[in-house]
Amino acid sequence: MAKAIRHIEKATPNPVQEQAASINDLLVSLADSRDALVRFLDILREAEKAGLLDILYGVLKARHEIGYQAINQLNQPSMHHTIKNAMGIVSFLGQVDPNQLQIMLGGISHGLKRASEPPEDGRAPGLWGLAKDLRDPGVSSTLHTAMEFMKGMGEHLRNESHPSPH
Amino acid sequence: MTNDQNTNGVNNESNVHDTNNGSNVNNVTQLNNGNHISRADHLNHVINSDYTFTISLNGQEFPARPGQRILEVAKEKDLYIPSICYHEYLGSIQSCDTCFVEVNGQLQRACNTEAQPGMIVNSVSPSAKAAQREAMERILSRHELYCTVCDNNNGNCVVHNTAEYFEIEHQKYEFKPKPYPPDNSHPMYRYEPDQCILCGRCVEACQDLQVNETLRIDWQREHPRVIWDDDVLADQSSCVSCGHCVTVCPCNALMEKSMLGEAGYLTGIPKDVLEPMIDLTKEVEPGYREIFAISEMEAAMRKARIKRTKTVCTYCGVGCSFEIWTKDRKILKVEPQLEAPVNGISTCVKGKWGWDFVNSPERLTRPLIRRGDTFVESTWDEALSLIARKLTEIKERDGADSIGYIASSKCTNEENYLFQKFVRAVMGTNNVDNCSRYCQSPATMGLMRTVGLGGDSGTIRDIASAGLVLVIGANPAESHPVLATRVKRAHKLYGQKLAVIDLRRHELATRSDIFIQPKPGTDLIMLSGITKYIIDQGWADEGFIQQRVNGWEEYRASLDKFTLDYTAEACAVERNEIIRLATMIHEAKGVCILWAMGVTQHLGGTDTSTAISNLLLVTGNYGKPGTGAYPLRGHNNVQGACDFGTMPAWFPGYQPVEDTKVREKFEQAWGAKLPEKPGLNNHQMVEAIDKGKLKALYLFGEEMALVDSNINHVDHAFEKLEFFVVQDIFLSKTAQFADVVLPASPSLEKEGTFTNTERRIQRLYQVFEPMGESKPDWQIFQLLANKLGANWNYKHPGEIMAEAASLSPLFAGVNYSRLEGFNSQVWPVKPDGTSTELLYTERFSFPDGKARLLKVDWTPPFEAGAEFDLHLNNGRLLEHFHEGNLTYRVPGIVHKTPQPWVEVSPELAKERNIEDGALIQLTSPYGEVEVRVIVSDTVRGNELYLTMNSTTDRDAVNRLTSSYHDKYTHTPNYKEMGVKMTILEAQGENPLPRVNHRFGNRVPQIGVRVEEKWNRNDYTPIPEFVAKGDENHGESNPPH
């Protein structure tokens, strides 16, 4: 006669045995990763010496608070500008042709060199001298480049203030 | 509960379009203008054509078939045309406008424009691209892109992927929130209007695929949104929680709650950090390209920790398969896939949400041994040694036949095969059976004796394509929900006729073209009367009968007494109803008959099943697409358990144990002498225990102490057993009687195959490791067999299937490599692996290839006696599986449906002066239950319906049922009982909470009614917009 029963006597696990089994599992893993662990412990030691672990501990413990503060700091108009500008610059750099930039920068560098050399006769050129310099091929090509640059920039500025159809 | 689905449902005879919004004429044909085609036409067009032609698409020639739309032509050859609202299962919706292409120079939607020979299509021309782009911009004005912190960013978000395709850098129209809060009311999913792009996929799925008709988009309001019923919270609506809407949502507007905060690496961030983060991202928005790059990376990282595993549902015999997404042991969601052979993207509430039981803390994790009044946890070795010793002892003392074995229709084919091999080859008896004895054995027998094979004649596709579906004694909308969706869809959209014969006005009855409510237990007379009328009218398919059927004359003569008058009187129905149904059967192009427990669980269950088959034979409704007999299997593997031999008279593949040749084959393969005589079935085992002949019982995965009939009697028998082993995942009611309980693993923790009601074999893959020390059932059998010296060495269920297939011609070509992933095989499977989806196309399964008409007579149902004045009907309901051992461990389901109830007709409630919530006692000659009342017009007169979702002693229906049974199969007559009612409390709390779908108010319509969107003042058709060109620019409000 076996009546329906519901009571279950759970086998209480022997804590000492369970712990021993877990430790044994751990030892096997440790032995398998000996080299990596020794190196990692070394890094950890250095981090401890440098006080990094303290900082990390603090950050992790207060992660929600810090995340909340940080995101609210970032989510301010001035920060929006900073981030946008930073991204704008990065994006600008992405658009510039490296070869062109190289030539341009080369020119600036060479120009700077010339500019810092003392004039041959030690005097600043007169108006006539300047006019004469305009005929110099170097000067006229730089001026031409600057003119074209201004035209291009002007074109873009005009477009932006009177948007054309998408 | 008079405010049931009926009130606003589709009436028998009325046109669906008239039931609501009478002023708004919206029907299928209206969609049919120009070369835009209606769904119904489309279905017929594409299916029936072999003819192909070509169209030019972006300068290349593409093959097309008549009726195919441009988008489908492109998809077939992997040419990408953007599309968001189009869905393979829902077809063209035309709401998103992203698929505009140039067709012979005109802008047209690719999703709804039929391919024509010589057509020139361009999907990348400037105007096509401008149109697509404009559509996408409009969508993004309604959807905020915060993909990296969105739980839907899993690589399959349609909106994300489409936006990325367009390489959108900045939004043209600013995102504007809608003035509605998110709807988090439903326990399983949420709706976030702010993210909703109004594509209408969810509405189409709800209205026309699931056909529950809960969702709509209200296009009339200033800010359209999806609404439930008449704009109530999702939880308070008629929503049956099937999950279709969530599955088809192309973004994160409708999401499984189990995904939220879990799927992404960053989505679990607390709200006070997350919201400013989204703001910040938007504020500094560098352009979407960068955002997409990060979100793509994050989506890729998610793959490392979200595991997607294909599995097969265990909640009924339909055989839905889907992927289950998990993170460690947490179930994130169930995601159905297009390629699932039975269900595609469909699920029901149980399949989509009902898996929490797997991680229940109540799972058994170690073997239990009874010591006095307590179960004590033990080691496997201890438990198995005890079982081996006791079974051997009893076998040696009282003979092999003094032990019985009960197999599980919830477990795999391989487990059933191995179990019967254990029983026969190791334990030396044929005393093995499974729970088909409680449900479908009469149907199997009825078919085996008329057409030769005990299974559905065809597949769910045949049911969907039949001209007439006749449902008798079955409630598929609740018991086989996904199969029912195919009937409801065919009926709603494609003109399929639906006939229902049932005691209850259940959902399909409310939708049917003809609904007949006969007197309980008279189905055989009704069927025979219809058949006779058909023959008398000269409507029998004489050609078919002459060529393919035996026994015609004798059968025909046996129908003499079933005249119209006799039938009408015996069944208590009108003569003209019989005539009308007979005429519909005659006129239909293809008839499928679906039946279940309402037919089988009677004294004459086998004969009524036979009468169904006879009717189909007389009308020639076998062996052709869209015809046949469909006994709907109730459990996921009730078909497979029978197929793989856990039956007392059959080896696997329905090979008789009495056949010497067959036995020799198995003896040779298994290396053991096998018993010759058929063993005891379930019912006989209980009787044999009672008589002291059966001393021990080994049962796995069955809740026999609740679901067998007359359980008071069964409980007493269990108490008499000398030794009882139960293998289960919980300490079930049955397990509470056991001497040893072995912890098994459910389907998600093992591999194997199930066979669904279509005879379709499908693989399930392991999702989790077995919990604790529990083990898959097949491993337990092997361990025990080896304790008894069997020396088995199966390493994987695939090896078991290989052995079973090699011994059973029916499954000759079944093997695991052919069943990879979503592939499936439908038996009989030829050695080369070819399936047989439709049976009997050439011959019936008898030696001469001919079917047999068999005369059957009516068995009057059991009468409990005059004092038991009420008829007790009973059965399943949608939300709970069977008695509820699994589904009561799913909080969302319990929230919706916490307990069983009894339905009482309004007239009886009035007579007895009781209301919703009254507590009554029902008493039969066999026992009594206490249960609360729902007054409902689904039942009538003195007929009661008691739902079977009970795991307690107080309200389990089988306290009332008897041990009488079908004469051939011993299936109990669960559906034949008289009870009397005692009122304990005349009023009380309704047993169903207000949030149950039965209180909802359906709102039927066809599709999402995109025309209403087009008619809005703020909608500018895209071609018009593109043609206007520059004029439109600069506006800040997007056109809809």
Nearest CB to B737 within list A2, A9, A87: A2
Q: List pLDDT tens digits, range B837-892.
A: 999 999 999 999 999 999 999 999 999 999 999 999 999 999 999 999 999 999 99
Cα distance between residue B406 and residue B383, in whole Å: 19
The answer to whether the CB atoms of B721 and A74 lie below 8 A apart is: no
> Using the beta-carbon criterion (under 8 Å), do A8 and B377 form an inter-chain contact?
yes
Band the pLDDT of B755: cuts 50, 70, 90.
very high
Residue B638 pLDDT more than 90?
A: yes
Which residue is closest to B1029 within chain A, CA to CA?
A: A165
In this prediction, residue B83 carries a pLDDT of: 96
Token pair 């004798």 is at which residue? B554
For residue A20, CA distances in Å to A7, A11, A23, A32, A33 come to 30, 18, 5, 19, 20
**Nearest residue to B852 via CA among B605, B545, B525, B561:** B545
pLDDT tens for B24-76 read 333 333 333 333 334 444 444 444 557 889 999 999 999 999 999 999 999 99
Please name which of B841, B815, B812, B844 lies closest in space to residue B829, comparing C-alpha atoms: B812
Q: Under a CB-based contact definition with an 8 Å cutoff, are residues B936 and B996 in contact? A: no
> How far apart, in whole angstroms, are the C-alpha atoms of residue B815 and residue B982?
57
Quick check: B429 and B688 in contact, CB under 8 A?
A: no
Which of B137, B266, B271, B280 to mutate to test binding with chain A, by most A CBs within 10 Å of its CB?
B280
Q: Which residue of B has its CA nearest to A13?
A: B377
pLDDT category at B1040 given cuts 50, 70, 90 is low
Distance from CA of A163 to the nearest CA of B (A): 9
Give me the residue label for tokens 């969530």: B246
Which of A60-69, B44-53, B153-162, B389-398 comes out lowest in average pLDDT?
A: B44-53
Compare all CA atoms of chain A with the CA of B1031 and give the residue at the minimum distance: A165
Q: B1036 pLDDT exceeds 80?
A: no
Contact B715 A7 (CB under 8 A): no
Q: Between β-strands B902-904 and B927-935, what pairing exists: parallel, antiparallel or unpaired?
A: parallel
Asked if the interface predicted TM-score (ipTM) of this complex is over 0.90, the answer is: no
Q: Which residues of A touch B715 (CB under 8 A)?
A: 4
Tell me what the mean pLDDT of segment B148-171 comes to. Answer: 88
Contact assignment for B736 to A4 by CB distance below 8 Å: yes
Residue by residue, DSSP assigns B395-446 as HHHH-GGGEEEE--TTS-HHHHHHHHHIIIIIS----EE-GGGGTTHHHHHH
The pLDDT score that the predictor gives to residue B242 is: 97
Amino acid, single-letter form, for residue B619: T
The confidence score (pLDDT) of residue B276 equals 83
pLDDT for the residue numbered B33: 34
A-B C-beta contacts closer than 8 Å = 80
- pLDDT (tens digit, 9 = 90+) per residue, B646-698? 999 999 999 999 999 999 999 999 999 999 999 999 999 999 999 999 999 99
Q: Which residues of A touch B367 (CB under 8 A)?
A: none
Instruction: Give the residue with greater pLDDT, B857 vs B1.
Output: B857
**Chain A residues within an 8 Å CB radius of B276:** 71-72, 74-75
- Per CB distance under 8 Å, which residues of A are interface residues toward B? 1-11, 64, 67-68, 71-72, 74-75, 80, 83-84, 87, 91, 163, 165-166
Place of tokens 């559905």: B456
The pLDDT of residue B384 is 98
CB–CB of B503/B526 below 8 Å?
Answer: no
Residue of B172, B279, B374 lying closest to A75 (CB–CB): B279
- Looking at chain B, the whole-number percentage of residues with pLDDT higher than 90 is 86
- Read off the pLDDT band of B300 (50, 70, 90): confident
**Cβ pair B520, B503 in contact under 8 A:** yes
DSSP annotation string for B94-140: --S-TTEEEETTEEEETTTBB--TT-EEESSSHHHHHHHHHHHHHHH
Q: Which residues of A touch B279 (CB under 8 A)?
A: 75
Among A9, A74, A87, beta carbon nearest to B376:
A9
Region A116-122: mean pLDDT is 74
Please give, rounded to a whole number of angstroms, the shortest distance from the CA of A11 to a CA of chain B: 5
pLDDT digits (tens, 9 = 90+) for B694-750: 999 999 999 999 999 999 999 999 999 999 999 999 999 999 999 999 999 999 999
Strand B927-935 to B919-924 pairing: antiparallel
Cα of first residue to Cα of last residue in chain A, in angstroms, is 87
B720 has a chain A CB within 8 A of its CB: yes
Model confidence at B386: pLDDT above 50: yes
Q: Which two tokens stand for residue B375?
A: 């179960």
Average pLDDT, chain B: 92
The answer to whether B271 contacts chain A (CB < 8 Å) is no
User: What would the DSSP string read from start to end of B609-645?
Assistant: HHHHHHHHHHTT-SSSTT-EEEE--SSTTHHHHHHTT
Residues of chain A neighbouring B705 (CB-CB closer than 8 A): 4
- For the residues B157-184, what does the mean pLDDT come to? 90
Å between B212 CA and nearest CA of chain A: 41
Given this model, what pLDDT does residue A68 score? 84
Distance, in Å, from the CA atom of B203 to the CA atom of B94, rounded to the nearest integer, reads: 13
- Does the pLDDT at position B82 exceed 80? yes
pLDDT score for B489: 97
Question: Alpha-carbon distance B124 to B75, whole Å?
Answer: 15
B377–A2 C-beta distance less than 8 A:
no
pLDDT for B1: 40
Predicted confidence at residue B840, as pLDDT, reads 97
Residue B784 in contact with residue B388, Cβ under 8 Å? yes
Residues of A in contact with B374 (CB under 8 A): 5, 7-9
Instruction: Report pLDDT digits (tens) over B617-634.
Output: 999 999 999 999 999 999
Nearest CA in chain A to B953: A4
Q: Which two tokens stand for residue B209?
A: 């695929």
From residue B674, alpha-carbon distances to B344, B422, B427, B664 in Å are 43, 11, 9, 8
Q: Do B251 and B143 form a contact (C-beta atoms < 8 A)?
A: yes
Question: What letter represents residue B633's amino acid?
Answer: R
- B280 — contact with chain A (CB < 8 Å)? yes
B824-826 and B760-764 beta bridge pairing: antiparallel
Across the interface, whether the CB atoms of B366 and A11 are under 8 A apart is answered: yes
Mean pLDDT (whole number) for B183-203 = 97
Q: What is the mean pLDDT of the segment spanning B774-782?
A: 98
CB contact under 8 A, A8 and B731: yes
Which residues on adjacent β-strands are paired with residue B100?
Answer: B109
Residues of B in contact with A74 (CB under 8 A): 276, 280
Out of B17-31, B509-523, B595-609, B698-712, least confident range: B17-31
- 10 Å Cβ neighbour count for B1027? 12
Q: Assess whether pLDDT exceeds 90 at residue B495.
A: yes
Which pLDDT value is given to residue B651? 97
Of A4, A7, A83, the CB nearest to B737: A4
Degrees, nearest 5: CA angle B262-B314-B890: 45
| Consecutive H or E run containing B569 | helix B564-571
At residue B148 the predicted structure's pLDDT band, cuts being 50, 70 and 90, is confident
Interface check B737 vs A, CB under 8 A: yes
**pLDDT at residue B286, rounded to an integer:** 62
CB B159 within 8 A of CB B143: yes
User: A87 or B140: whose pLDDT is higher?
Assistant: B140
Helix, strand, coil fractions of chain A, as percent rounded to 5: 75, 0, 20
Task: State the pLDDT at residue A160.
Answer: 72
- Mean local confidence (pLDDT), A21-41: 92
Predicted pLDDT of residue B1037: 55
Q: Is the pLDDT of residue B584 over 70?
A: yes
- Report the C-alpha gap between B1006 and B926 in whole angstroms: 49
Closest CA to B614 of B515, B509, B534, B514: B534
**Chain B hits for A13, Cβ within 8 Å:** none
Which chain B positions have a beta carbon within 8 Å of A83's beta carbon?
284
Q: Do A84 and B284 touch (CB under 8 A)?
A: yes
Q: What is the pLDDT of residue A84?
A: 81
- Residue A90, pLDDT score: 84
Interface test with A, best of B136, B171, B273 (most A CBs within 10 A): B273
pLDDT confidence of residue B46: 46
What domains sit in chain B, N to C, each tagged with a CATH number?
A: 143-177+268-303 (no CATH), 180-263 (3.30.70.20), 305-359 (2.20.25.90), 368-438+639-808 (3.40.50.740), 441-631 (3.40.228.10), 870-999 (2.40.40.20)
For residues A107-119, one letter each, b for 16 or more C-beta atoms within 10 angstroms of the residue's C-beta and e for the rest, the string is eeeeeeeeeeeee
- Assess contact for B641 and B409: CB atoms under 8 A: yes
